[in-house]
Structure 1
Amino acid sequence: MIRYGQQEITQEDVAAVVEVLRSVNLTQGPNIPKFEEAVRAHTNSKHALAVNSATSALHIACLALDVGPGDWLWTTPNTFVATANCALYCGAQVDFVDIDPRTYNLCPQKLEAKLMEAAKVGKLPKVVVPVHLTGQPCDLAAIHALGQKYGFRIIEDASHAIGGTYKGEPIGNCRYSDITVFSFHPVKIITTAEGGMALTNNDELATRLGLLRSHGITRDPALMTQPMDGSWYYQQVALGYNYRMTDIQAALGASQINRLTQYVTRRHEIANRYNELLADLPLTLPWQHPDSYSAYHLYVIRLQLDKIAPTHREVFEAMRAKDIMVNLHYIPVHTQPYYQHMGFKAGDYPEAEQYYREAMSIPMHPSLTDAEQDTVIDSLRQAMGK
């Protein structure tokens, strides 16, 4: 079976995890700050806070920005549901902005047009969450400029994008956002099995994120509202959650990040080979903005259905029948039954819906061999009748 994505675990990774298992610190230990510092240093951000998933990071990012009832969060429909759900967790409302047909990311021009209309009726978003789909950065400078004009905060959902750059600077540096979120799920660029991270350059936000990930509890006297009773003392000063990463997970991440550049470089080699060997097929291949360097979490092709006989579904199922586990990222969030109960409907975001009708994620991960890639390409030709 050739999967669309998978982790690579080395002997160094195993040794790092075993070392923790033989220690006394399985939950909160020295590997968490070690991993946080490695990510912080890579991204040139000021603060990095590890959590148990990117979904948790999105949730506490919203809470840290005081998202709540009466507020609006806008994001792209072309994302995993967690990006939108984080607003609902806070009692806020969600709306969407259609995608750029070339990058498949949230379109700044459509965002500006929607903001102009929202300003007229007093329904501007409190937060906008651009998603770096497949690892390619959004047009952050344009979105940030609109944030300055219309007064919204920005959370980058960079779950796909660690190791990528925008305008020559690492994704996660928060130059154009309040908070950036990474994912370390096994199919992502590096993994902690499950896990995520929230990064920010704002000291106050970092403090709030730290409280929110751990029950709202602090042992820092500077954050307490009452005198300490003794060295055992702690206070709950906010309503937080148990979103902490374990030391076992952090040890794996701290080992994996040593190969981050190697992994992204290999992903580019695979993408370049796909670009060359698929060029003669009736496909739309990934377009890369000159301001960006993608982390290439995914390699998404779009079938030119007017030029082939098989349907989208037939090509997809033919690939899976050959044990090539292609996937589709993503089903537009607004078409999900839960969101349709809120009033969203098919036709609301035509670019995202057209993308869905044509898109397919084909295998892309550092362990993919040239021979396996050739099998993917040959199978795709056969499935398309070419």
Structure 2
Amino acid sequence: MEVSFFRPQIGEEEIAEVVDSLRNGWLTTGAKTKRFEQDFAAYLGGGVEAIAVNSATSGLHLALEAAGIGPGDEVIVPSYTFTATAEVVRYLGADPVFVDCDYDTLCVTAYHVAPALTERTRAIMPVHFGGMACDMQPLIDLAAENGLMIIEDAAHSLPATSGGVLVGKQPTTATIFSFYANKTITTGEGGMLVTADPEIAARAKIMRQHGIDRDAFDRFATGRWVYDVVAPGYKYNLTDIASAIGIHQLRKVGEFHSGRMRVAARYREQLDGLPIDLPAEAPDGETHSWHLFIVKVRPEAPLDRDAVFAELGRRGIVCSVHYRPLHRMTYWRERYNLHAQHFPNAERVFARAISLPIHAGMTDGEIDFVCSSLRQVLS
């Protein structure tokens, strides 16, 4: 049996909506993207503005730019994350300051952030890792005490909660979601910047499309061509073709989440007792999105992480490792003189972590095959 790491769940509704976009003649950002944005804001409960972008990376960049981050500023980011979290800080000439994560949740905490604050710190970028939301209230309190902004990297976290509140509705500056192909909902490529701050929203809208003060759909649909360029912006808009997929993916977020919870529960039941650490579950009353299911191979296991990974691959099971910490990456290590001993939890996680296949469409047979294979490999 071959088990893929992820498999997007695309139904006839998504296909029909895309075909409608192809037939109606408007392929780029237009009415369907606006509808997707409105639906997303409504899903979060209103009171926020949702701005569709072509990737979570571009959304993070727009949020930082709109927040006024620039040269001389510092932004706190975890080392245990994908490089996009940090690279967008450098886009603006600011400096990321790297901190360690919690070993169990893989999330950054106020405990890790507080010692890294300096007079140059302007913002904190917590990453809701693998679908587990960060413990946000201590971070929010720390930011308030120090006059800092919080930009949430929520690429993994729809529909996670912290403090009983959906990620995307926390009292922070902005939150950015990802709709990459393996995420909890997908548009193929894409993302959503969410904010309750009208100034952040207005700036992000302008900057996502070349700094132009009117979008193309408005100009062509109304027949009024006049526009102005008010800033040197970017090309970060999401197309109507992608939004056509997103409209229907969003309607299925509950169904998809139930599917991922089923996979996670079956994994937990069958993998209990093996020499691995299972991923932390969300605290009582909270929601884990289960974007990833990461197990950590313990030192007493008969094989190390790399050997287990190879054995699963030989059995046709596609796994991954999320992630190689940024302090190990050449650019970040050399530019900021980073050393492994400053990130002990990230080091331990990286040496042991394997991301098992997980997606809403996994069959019980596929889950059972992964579990039986792991038992054989670790016996």
Question: Would the TM-score normalized by the shorter structure come out above 0.5?
Answer: yes
Query: 1:3 offset after TM fit, Å?
Result: 2.0
2:142 counterpart residue number:
146
Query: 1:14 offset after TM fit, Å?
Result: 0.8
1:226 counterpart residue number:
none
Q: What are the ranges of 5 or more consecutive residues in structure 1 without an aligned counterpart? A: 221-229
Q: Helix, strand or coil: the match of 1:69?
A: coil
Letter in 2 for 1:218: D
Q: Helix, strand or coil: the match of 2:70?
A: coil
Q: What CA distance in whole angstroms lies between the structure 2 residues aligned with 1:57 and 1:328?
A: 24
2:278 counterpart residue number:
285
1:238-317 map, 5 Å = 238-290=231-283, 292-306=286-300, 308-317=301-310
1:373 to 364, 367, 375: 367
Letter in 2 for 1:157: D
Q: What are the ranges of 5 or more consecutive residues in structure 2 without an aligned counterpart? A: 216-222
Deviations 1:85-125 (A, max 9, x none): 0000111111112111221100221212333xx3xxx34x2
2:219 counterpart residue number:
none
TM-score (norm 1): 0.93
Query: 1:321 offset after TM fit, Å?
Result: 1.3
Kept in 2: contact 1:106–1:131 (CA 8 A): yes
Q: What CA distance in whole angstroms lies between the structure 2 residues aligned with 1:181 and 1:373?
A: 31
Letter in 2 for 1:32: T
Q: What CA distance in whole angstroms lies between the structure 2 residues aligned with 1:11 and 1:289?
A: 33
Q: What CA distance in whole angstroms lies between the structure 2 residues aligned with 1:212 and 1:334?
A: 31
Kept in 2: contact 1:305–1:312 (CA 8 A): no
Letter in 1 for 2:35: K
Deviations 1:116-166 (A, max 9, x none): xx3xxx34x211100000111001111010000111110110000111222
2:86 matches 1:128: no
Identity of aligned residues (%): 36
Q: Helix, strand or coil: the match of 2:342?
A: coil
Q: Helix, strand or coil: the match of 2:175?
A: strand
Q: What CA distance in whole angstroms lies between the structure 2 residues aligned with 1:12 and 1:212?
A: 32
Kept in 2: contact 1:140–1:176 (CA 8 A): no
Kept in 2: contact 1:141–1:176 (CA 8 A): no
Q: What CA distance in whole angstroms lies between the structure 1 residues aligned with 2:227 and 2:207?
A: 15
Q: What CA distance in whole angstroms lies between the structure 1 residues aligned with 2:364 and 2:237?
A: 39
Q: Helix, strand or coil: the match of 2:252?
A: helix
Query: 1:305 offset after TM fit, Å?
Result: 2.0
1:338 to 328, 331, 335: 331
2:218 counterpart residue number:
none
2:7 counterpart residue number:
6
Q: What CA distance in whole angstroms lies between the structure 2 residues aligned with 1:231 and 1:32?
A: 20
Q: Helix, strand or coil: the match of 2:137?
A: helix
Query: 1:288 offset after TM fit, Å?
Result: 2.1
1:210 counterpart residue number:
205
Letter in 2 for 1:185: Y
Letter in 1 for 2:126: P
1:361 counterpart residue number:
355
Q: Helix, strand or coil: the match of 1:3?
A: coil
Q: What CA distance in whole angstroms lies between the structure 2 residues aligned with 1:21 and 1:2?
A: 33
Q: What CA distance in whole angstroms lies between the structure 2 residues aligned with 1:165 and 1:135?
A: 9
Letter in 2 for 1:107: T
Deviations 1:32-59 (A, max 9, x none): 0111111111112410000000010011
Deviations 1:151-185 (A, max 9, x none): 11101100001112222222111x23100000000
2:81 counterpart residue number:
79
Q: What CA distance in whole angstroms lies between the structure 1 residues aligned with 2:353 and 2:344?
A: 14
2:190 to 188, 192, 195: 195
Query: 1:10 offset after TM fit, Å?
Result: 0.9
1:223 counterpart residue number:
none
Q: What CA distance in whole angstroms lies between the structure 2 residues aligned with 1:114 and 1:70?
A: 16
Q: What CA distance in whole angstroms lies between the structure 2 residues aligned with 1:194 and 1:287?
A: 28
Letter in 2 for 1:108: A
Kept in 2: contact 1:50–1:245 (CA 8 A): yes
Q: What CA distance in whole angstroms lies between the structure 2 residues aligned with 1:245 and 1:219?
A: 15
**Which shifted more, 333-342 or 282-291?**
282-291
Deviations 1:274-326 (A, max 9, x none): 111111111111112415311110011011122x2212110011111111111
1:63 counterpart residue number:
65
Letter in 1 for 2:39: A
2:39 counterpart residue number:
38
Deviations 1:323-376 (A, max 9, x none): 111101011011101111211132221111110001110011001000000000
Letter in 1 for 2:167: I
Letter in 2 for 1:380: L
Query: 1:6 offset after TM fit, Å?
Result: 2.5
Q: Helix, strand or coil: the match of 1:94?
A: strand
Kept in 1: contact 2:326–2:333 (CA 8 A): no
Q: Helix, strand or coil: the match of 2:372?
A: helix
Q: What CA distance in whole angstroms lies between the structure 1 residues aligned with 2:196 and 2:323?
A: 30
Q: What CA distance in whole angstroms lies between the structure 1 residues aligned with 2:115 and 2:146?
A: 12
